[in-house]
C-alpha cells in the first residue's frame, strides 16, 4: 500500500506506511500542575511511512494544528552534565573550524538560548536566536538577540553567515520548504550551517521510545543529505554524535568552488547505509510491539520480586516509554534532575515527577532509564544517594 504523499526528502517516490503506533501524547514535553489536566491532555496518531528510495520516514497522520509551540513547553536537555559537556565540545569545534569571530550566527530552535550564548561568547560572534518555546528575556543583550517566536519565513532574517539548528528540524511539518527558504534568505551570500537531529538509525533500530508526536520526520544520513541537496544546499559532512543517538550535517550555500577552509569531519552517506536503514524500517513494527510487551512483563515481574522499580528521566523518551509500557502505573516513581518538573504530572499516564533525592527513602532495587548515554551519570548519582539498584536500559 502506498500513500499519495511524495517523499519530502528526495521528492521522487510516494511514502509507504510501515508502522501504526496508535494514539500517543501530543505534548510530551509538558508537565502539568494538576493530575486531571495531565491525564486529559491531548493525544495524536502516529503512523509512520517511509520512502523506498531514500529511507526518509514521516508521521503521515501528523496534524500541525494539534501542536502549537509556546513558552510553557520545556524540552531542555541542559540539566544533564553529559549533554552540557557534549555541547561545550561542539561550541569549541564549530568556533574553530568556521572562524566565527565577528560573524552573525542564527540559532533556529534555540531552546532557552544556552548554546547560542556559549557559541557567541567562545566564537566572538553575534547571535540571533528564535524559538517559540524561549521563555527568557527577549531583545538584545550583549552579543545576543532572542525572539520568543519561530524564525521568519519569506524574508525577515538578518544577514547571517552561519546558522545552527539543533533538535528542531525534525519537528517541522514542511522541512523541505524550510530549507529552500533559509537558502533563499541568504540572497547569494556564502553561508554555512550545522543541523543536529535524532539519528533515525538509532531510533528505528531500537524499541522506538524516541518516536514521539513532535517529531514529524526521522532522518538517517542518506535521507538527511537528500533533503538538503534537493533544497540546493551543499553537504559538507555528516556523522553521528552522543553515543550514536544524534546525527549532524554541515552544509553550505553559494560557496565558491575553489574555497576549502572547512575541515571535513565525517563521511558522506553511502547506499549501504541506506539499505541498512531500509532493513531496520522493515523490522520496526514487530520490534516495537514486542518491546512494549516485554517491558510490561518486566515491570510486573520486578514488582512481584519486591524491587520497587522506578524510571529515571522524565524527558520525551521517558514519557513515551511510560505511555507505551506503563499505562498500569506499575512503576513506583519517576525522578528527574530538572527542578521545574518536580511535583508535576506527566501527560496521559499522569505519573508524578519527583526529585532524585526521594530515592533515598524508597530504596528501589531497579532503576529503568530510556537513554543509555546517561547511564554512567545516573549510576554515579545513585551511588551518591546511597541507593544500590540495578540500572535497566529500555
- Report the alpha-carbon distance of residue 124 to residue 95 in Å, rounded: 8
Q: Which is nearer to Zn ion, 50 or 215 (CB)?
A: 50
CB 59 within 8 A of CB 10: no
Q: Pick the piece of the chain touching Zn ion (CB under 5 A) from 2-10, 80-88, 179-187, 194-202.
A: 2-10
Number of neighbouring beta carbons within 10 Å of residue 30 = 21
**Binding to Zn ion by residue 9, rule CB under 5 A?**
yes
DSSP 258-299: T---SPP-SPPP-HHHHHHHHHHHHHHHHHHHHHHHHHHHHH
Stretch touching Zn ion by CB under 5 A, among 9-17, 154-162, 236-244, 279-287: 9-17
**Alpha carbon distance 9, 93 (integer Å):** 28
Please say which residue, 56 or 209, places its beta carbon nearer to Zn ion: 56
Residue nearer to Zn ion on the CB measure, 56 or 115? 56
Quote the least distance from Cβ 51 to Zn ion, whole Å.
3
Nearest distance from C-beta of residue 17 to Zn ion, angstroms: 15
- Alpha helices by DSSP H, listed for 161-251, are 175-184, 200-205, 221-230
How many residues bind Zn ion (CB under 5 A)? The answer is: 7
* Distance between start and end Cα atoms, the chain: 32
Taking the least distance from each CB to Zn ion, the nearer of 54 and 335 is 54
Q: How far is CA 352 from CA 210, 323, 335, 343, in A?
A: 21, 13, 8, 6
Q: Give the residue, chosen from 32, 56, 202, 295, that forms a contact with Zn ion under the rule CB under 5 A.
A: 56
CB of 180 to Zn ion, least distance (A): 16
For the bound state, the minimum distance from the C-beta of residue 226 to Zn ion, rounded and expressed in Å, comes to: 6
| 113, 207, 315 from 75: Cα distances, Å | 12, 21, 7
CB of 225 to Zn ion, least distance (A): 11
10 binds Zn ion (CB under 5 A): yes
CB of 53 to Zn ion, least distance (A): 5
Nearer to Zn ion, 9 or 49 (CB): 9
7 binds Zn ion (CB under 5 A): yes
Residues 47 and 358 sit within 8 Å (Cβ to Cβ): no
Rounded least distance, CB 11 to Zn ion, Å: 7
SS3 call for 152: coil
Residue (56 or 218) nearer to Zn ion, CB: 56
* Minimum CB distance to Zn ion smaller for 19 or for 319: 19
Q: Hey, is 58 helix, strand or coil?
A: strand
Site for Zn ion in 16-55 (CB under 5 A): 51, 53-54
CA distances from 383 to 79, 184, 247 (A): 19, 53, 32
Pairing status of strand 57-59 against strand 217-218: antiparallel
Q: Strand ranges (DSSP E) for 51-170? A: 57-59, 104-108, 126-130, 139-141, 144-147, 162-166
Nearer to Zn ion, 220 or 336 (CB): 220
DSSP labels, 335-358: E-S-GGGTT-B-TTT-PBEE-GGG
Q: In this chain, which stretch among 10-18, 145-153, 201-209, 383-391 interacts with Zn ion, using CB under 5 A?
A: 10-18
Query: Of 3-11, 146-154, 200-208, 280-288, which segment contacts Zn ion by CB under 5 A?
Result: 3-11
Shortest distance, position 222 Cβ to Zn ion, whole Å: 9
Backbone angles phi, psi at 152, to 5 degrees: -65, 145
Least spacing, CB of residue 177 vs Zn ion, in Å: 16
Q: Which is nearer to Zn ion, 19 or 73 (CB)?
A: 19
* Residue numbers at the binding site for Zn ion (CB under 5 A): 7, 9-10, 51, 53-54, 56
Amino acid at each position: 500500500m502506498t500513500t499519495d504523499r511524495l517523499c519530502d526528502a528526495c521528492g521522487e517516490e510516494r511514502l509507504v506506511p510501515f508502522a501504526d503506533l496508535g494514539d500517543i501524547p501530543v505534548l510530551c514535553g509538558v508537565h502539568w500542575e494538576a493530575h486531571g489536566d495531565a491525564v486529559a491532555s491531548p493525544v495524536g496518531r502516529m503512523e509512520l511511512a517511509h520512502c523506498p528510495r531514500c529511507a526518509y520516514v514521516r508521521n503521515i497522520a501528523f496534524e500541525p494544528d494539534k501542536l502549537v509551540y509556546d513558552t510553557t513547553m520545556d524540552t531542555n536537555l541542559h540539566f544533564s552534565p553529559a549533554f552540557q559537556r557534549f555541547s561545550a565540545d561542539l561550541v569549541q569545534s564549530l568556533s574553530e573550524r568556521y572562524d566565527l569571530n565577528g560573524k552573525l550566527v542564527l540559532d533556529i530552535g534555540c531552546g532557552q538560548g544556552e548554546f547560542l550564548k556559549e557559541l557567541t561568547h567562545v566564537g566572538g560572534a553575534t547571535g540571533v536566536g528564535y524559538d517559540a518555546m524561549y521563555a527568557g528575556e527577549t531583545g538584545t543583550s550583549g552579543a545576543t538577540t532572542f525572539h520568543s517566536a519561530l524564525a521568519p519565513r519569506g524574508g525577515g532574517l538578518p544577514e547571517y553567515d552561519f546558522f545552527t539548528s539543533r533538535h528542531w528540524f525534525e519537528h517541522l511539518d514542511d522541512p523541505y520548504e524550510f530549507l529552500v527558504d533559509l537558502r533563499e534568505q541568504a540572497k547569494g551570500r556564502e553561508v554555512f550551517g550545522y543541523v543536529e537531529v535524532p539519528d533515525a538509525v538509532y531510533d528505528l533500530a531500537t524499541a522506538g521510545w524516541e518516536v514521539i508526536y513532535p517529531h514529524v520526520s526521522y532522518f538517517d544520513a542518506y535521507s538527511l543529505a537528500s533533503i538538503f541537496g534537493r533544497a540546493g544546499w551543499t553537504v559538507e559532512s555528516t556523522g553521528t554524535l552522543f553515543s550514536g543517538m544524534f546525527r549532524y550535517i554541515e552544509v553550505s550555500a553559494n560557496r565558491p568552488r575553489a574555497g576549502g577552509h572547512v575541515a571535513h569531519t565525517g563521511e558522506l552517506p553511502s547506499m549501504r547505509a541506506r539499505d541498512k536503514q531500509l532493513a531496520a524500517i522493515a523490522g520496526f513494527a514487530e520490534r516495537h510491539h514486542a518491546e512494549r510487551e516485554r517491558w510490561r512483563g518486566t515491570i510486573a515481574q520486578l514488582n512481584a520480586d519486591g524491587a520497587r522499580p522506578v524510571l529515571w528521566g522524565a524527558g520525551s523518551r521517558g514519557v513515551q516509554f511510560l505511555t507505551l509500557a506503563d499505562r498500569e502505573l506499575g512503576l513506583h516513581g519517576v525522578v528527574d534532575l530538572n527542578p521545574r518538573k518536580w511535583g508535576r504530572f506527566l501527560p496521559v499516564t499522569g505519573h508524578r515527577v519527583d526529585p532524585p533525592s526521594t530515592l533515598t527513602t524508597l530504596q528501589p532495587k531497579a532503576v529503568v532509564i530510556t537513554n543509555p548515554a546517561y547511564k554512567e551519570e545516573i549510576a554515579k548519582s545513585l551511588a551518591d544517594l546511597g541507593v544500590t539498584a540495578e540500572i535497566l536500559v529500555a
